[in-house]
Amino acid sequence: MGISGKYYSTGCSVSSGLLPICFCFSFIICFSNSIDIISHTQYIKDPESIVSAGSQFRLGFFSPTNSTDRYPLNDSSGTVMIDSNGNLVVLNGRKKVIWSTNVSNTAKSSIAQLSNSGNLILKNGNNNETVWESFLHPSDTFLPTMRLGTALKTGEKQLLTSWEDDSLPLIGRYSASIVPLDIPQIFIWNGSSPHWRSGPWNNRIFIGVPDMHSVYLDGFNLEANPKEGSAYLTFSYVSKPDFMRFVLNSQGKLVEYRWNKRKNDWFVHWSVPNTECDVYGKCGPFGSCNAADSPICSCLKGFTPKSTEEWSMGNWSSGCERRTQLQCQRNSSNGEKEKADGFLALKMMKVPDFADWSAADHEKQCKEQCLNNCSCIAYAFDDNIGCMSWSRNLIDLQKFSNGGVDLYIRLAHSELAGRNDPKAITTTVVLVVVVVIGTTIMAVFIYFLLRWMATQRGKKKKKRVLLGEASKELSDIDMLEDRIKQGKSIDLPFFYLEELAIATNNFDAANKLGVGGFGSVYKGKLWGGQEIAVKKLSKSSGQGLEEFKNEVVLISKLQHRNLVRLLGCCTHGEEKMLIYEYMANKSLDALLFDPAKRTLLDWKKRFHIIEGVGRGLLYLHRDSRLKIIHRDLKASNILLDKEMNPKISDFGMARIFGGSQDEENTKRVVGTYGYMSPEYAMEGRFSEKSDVFSYGVLLLEIVSGRRNSSFYLHPDPSNLLGHAWKLWNEEKIWELIDPILGERSSQVEILRCIHVGLLCVQEFAKDRPTMSNIVSMLSCEISTLPAPKQPGFIERQISSDGDSSQNNRSVCSLNSISITMTEGR
């Protein structure tokens, strides 16, 4: 017998003895007049079934995949019914009970109902009380709203149990559940031996699972009660219907399956264990496993193989042993005070098993606790967990390529100094020689460089460079440092004006890359050959000292592959310059809106740009150490490197938000008409949803190949947003797509981008998605998108205080120059 459900595959729940009740989850196309209950008078016989109210799950009879066996029924005459005691039973052809819920607090009028979550619930007919449910007897499959866990006090356990093999639903060797220690973990067991471990739960993720992130949107939740010795794990859909399930297969792998609607089939999204290093204790005590190394196992620094012979044969289970005893564990024989033990930091590690927990506010406090306890041989700190320490053998250590935490191993001082390590001594000697030779070469190089610079300055003293005299440069750099004080320092080089003048050939017009409301951008080449872009702000630019200072301070603190890299800055009198890495393909608008060059942007490149800009904004809004609202996102501020990787630029108008701040008001509205959100342009309110609006406009421009403002010269008076909305409502949205994008195979992806773009430009900020949701929508992690509501700025205008000539001013201009609107007093 089985429960089959929409988009789900086979699983089995063993409730007692050797008689399993099996749950099969498969696609249901359509059901009408479905019945979801079994009662004393209403039962099912093979091949009949019942269907949940939402047509998601079906309860019936099945044979395992690739098998004709109908274990434990040997024919097709099975029956599922409510017996005279009110229990749910399975009968064979001879009316013999082969399985029963076997609970006592039932009544003859009991009913069994199949819920839309796949839970089969037996209810007492007298008081409607639930007396039994299948979700409390898990099989090999973990579904949303189920829970896994253990309560030591009551002995209650909900664990996954594998099949014996893929076609035989007997109890297999493997099981999985939560172990309710001080810090709960998921374990997969091979019989009674641990097979895999998730690492501790930190209230967001299991820190031993590098692929698990809070943006993963799996909806995991863990409820732990250390006093009661209980811990339960659940998960739910973040966005329905995003169908997924976890299965513990017969090989001991925990596999996450997700439904592919296009192929109408399941695909493996994630699984563990994946490599040999994932297997519990692969390298033994004090051994660390790294799947990227060969061999995969190595001893920690300060430790040697316990059995060299076994290690040479690839058997690492015996592990390693300490080479030098810790100072706190031995007495000095000569009466001299030995140097204290220290800690070696290991980065991106899966922490060992058997951690002890203690409260700590920061890593230093955790270190002090461990240092003051001689039995403590290692510690690690996590902001959401606190202090973890170890006093027994370190087992199940693994080095990750990303994720994990910093683990600190206690070693004798001599091991930290490397005195007993011949390799370390050799390395030290080599380093000393290299440093001495390198210093000598550098000194000679600096001497000749200074002589060359002095010669160049002597020549330049007799004439002015284009922007001022070289003698004032140093004082101007000091002036900027004074202006960017306020207790903050910036890790950013200052360039000499003369150096930039030489690099750009005195800002020759032939080197001009572009011009905007802020001034001009020039291509240059530094003395060492590095290509740069120099943004020279004009004196009449609306981007004054505050914006200049804002960009210098902000971008110097940001590091992301989709943000432009600021190499330095320069000031000279009233002149201000910013020096960026050179972008070979210039700005996005230079390609996208040029009929001749637009053909260079096929859909693959455009989608790469859409995703990259989205990731850059997500970093600004959530993942950087500062929460930043850009306020001027547009095509001309997206730069493209030689590989067409997008880089967000121009942070002069950006604002930093506090940790809990969601919105801010301003009387000084800055940005670009056509990209500004309604609430910002009309009321001065801006938030991360303002950037989302700008991103939506940009997304629609990329798909259509047309500027938002271009529609103002169109017979249809609406802008690009209004045009897209009109086509959406007329179900002609494909007409928005740039005709040169002929890739029919990508049409579904293109239409999805348009859908996301319309969600971003909805009139009200509360309706727009966050950047984390947008990134998930574009990557199909969120598979079903809500219907968009009307965009902002459809036949709307904004008015401002002042004379009538300024009223009813259109919110979009015919160009894309950044503007500043200052409210009068």
CA contacts within 13 A on the Cβ side of 471: 7
- Strands 97-100 and 88-91, sheet pairing: antiparallel
Give the position of tokens 């380093």: 431
**Nearest to 807, CA basis, from 815, 817, 797, 795:** 797
Contact criterion met (CB below 8 Å) for 684 and 665 = yes
How does DSSP assign 592-604, residue by residue? HT-TTTGGG--HH
Instruction: Say which amino acid occupies 538.
Output: S
Question: How is the beta sheet containing 244-248 ordered, strand by strand?
Answer: 141-142, 244-248, 254-260, 265-272
Q: In the numeric block, which tokens belong to residue 303? A: 């430790």
Question: What is the rounded distance in angstroms from the CA atom of residue 37 to the CA atom of residue 683?
Answer: 56
Question: What is the rounded distance in angstroms from the CA atom of residue 629 to the CA atom of residue 80?
Answer: 60
Catalytic residue from among 632, 650, 691, 738: 632
**Nearest to 254, CA basis, from 234, 231, 274:** 274
740: CB partners within 8 A, 6+ apart: 598, 599, 705
Q: In the numeric block, which tokens belong to residue 490? A: 């910036």
Element (H, E) at 79: strand 79-82
- Strands 287-289 and 397-399, sheet pairing: parallel
Contact criterion met (CB below 8 Å) for 28 and 6 = yes
Contact criterion met (CB below 8 Å) for 716 and 723 = yes
| CA 808 and chain centroid, separation | 44
Torsions phi, psi for 95 (to 5 deg): 65, 20
* Pure H helices in 66-119: none
DSSP single-letter state for residue 198? -
Question: What is the rounded distance in angstroms from the CA atom of residue 466 to the CA atom of residue 574?
Answer: 13
Torsions phi, psi for 641 (to 5 deg): -80, -175
Active site residue 478: no
Give the position of tokens 């060359």: 452
Give the position of tokens 């998601």: 56
* Pure H helices in 394-421: 413-417
Torsions phi, psi for 547 (to 5 deg): -65, -40
Element (H, E) at 616: helix 603-618
**Nearest to 73, CA basis, from 62, 88, 65:** 62
Overall residue count recorded for the chain in this entry: 825
**Nearest to 345, CA basis, from 269, 292, 420, 407:** 407
Question: How is the beta sheet containing 57-60 ordered, strand by strand?
Answer: 2-5, 57-60, 50-51
4: CB partners within 8 A, 6+ apart: 23, 24, 25, 26, 28, 49, 57, 58, 59, 60, 62
536 annotated as a binding-site residue: yes
Q: Report CA-CA distances (Å) from 122 to 56, 80, 133, 300.
A: 19, 13, 6, 55
**Nearest to 651, CA basis, from 520, 533, 557:** 557
The residues annotated as belonging to the active site are: 632
Which residues participate in the annotated binding site for ATP? 536
